[in-house]
Structure 1
Amino acid sequence: MSLIVLAFFIGVVAGLRALTPLAAVSWAARFGWLPLGGSWLAFMGYTWTPWVLSLLALGELFNDKLPKTPSRKVPAQFATRIVTGAVAGAAFGIATSSSIVGAIAGALGAVAGTLGGAEARSRLTNAIGGKDLPIALLEDFITVMSALLIVRQLA
């Protein structure tokens, strides 16, 4: 599969959870699946980076369940997802010497994932009587598994 298509898909994951794609990309870089050495994203493959990003991603998964967590569509949340999608996409683009194209694909994927994910979660929550937690946990599972499957394509 094209790395630019994968950049779009990792952006979609950023639309679901902002930090999960960065953690996944960092592990891919650490394992040598995504060659980022010598690039502006080389730090993603450093020894501690995947661990730190994974802890932050776990924190985000927990925070998403709190009642005061704002919608992913508010400007700050939306912008963060676009930025993390672009960074993760750029990492895929670096491997093809097209970091800008990868960043654009990742950002576009993040927009699609943010809007589509919010709509899907809302509809599914309504379909089961307004209980958000089961759908939020399902979304977490889909997010993490998707990120793993996407970066596994690089191995």
Structure 2
Amino acid sequence: MIFVVTLLMGVVAGLRAMTPLAAASWAAHLGWVSVAGTPLEFMGNSWTPWVFTVLAVAELITDQLPQTPSRKVPVQFGARLVSGALAGATLAIGVGALIPGIVLGVVGAVVGTFGGAAARGKLAARFGKDLPAALIEDAVAVLGALALIHFV
């Protein structure tokens, strides 16, 4: 099950880079995943979920701005890969699946980045504007991340 969760959390990273980090750090902080004594112990610190939550909310806001770059440009794409890797690693390290968690998080981030861009483009074309499509994508990312941390 952890492999499916880390892959899907990577997909969420492709939609919104900071959302899976917020979700994974809350899961670690609340003790739902074990990161104690690992290199990812910082993900369970008391301040980490708050920092990632603030960054996730800021991302939800800035995504609505017209000057926000495409998720497919190198910096944005790279951030999604790193986010998928870190979230996947955080969720998987407690069961001894660090490397698979990283790999599946990255693979999911690639799928989420390109699939999310395509889906949002089609939705925006249907609505005749981007905002409704962006809000739907926000909801899928946030609700998806929240649902996924309950399966670890």
Identity of aligned residues (%): 53
Gaps of 5+ in 1: none
Larger helix proportion, structure 1 or 2? 2
Q: Does 1:141 align with 2:139?
A: yes
Q: Which whole-Å deviations, capped at 9, do the CAs of 1:87-130 have from their partners, x for residues lacking one?
A: 1111122022121111000000000000000000000100112x
TM-score by length of 1: 0.96
- Summarize the alignment of residues 25-104 of structure 1 with structure 2, pairs less than 5 Å apart: 25-104=24-103
RMSD value, Cα:
0.7
User: 2 CA distance for matches of 1:98 and 1:33?
Assistant: 16
Q: Does 1:152 align with 2:150?
A: yes
User: 1 CA distance for matches of 2:51 and 2:7?
Assistant: 24
After TM superposition, give the deviation of residue 4 of structure 1 in Å. Answer: 1.4
Alignment check: 8 A CA contact 1:4 1:92 kept: no
User: Match of 2:118, as an amino acid?
Assistant: E
User: 2 CA distance for matches of 1:38 and 1:73?
Assistant: 35
Q: Which whole-Å deviations, capped at 9, do the CAs of 1:53-75 have from their partners, x for residues lacking one?
A: 10010001001011100000111
User: 1 CA distance for matches of 2:49 and 2:77?
Assistant: 23
Runs of 4+ in 1 over 4 A off after TM superposition: none
TM-score by length of 2: 0.98
Gaps of 5+ in 2: none
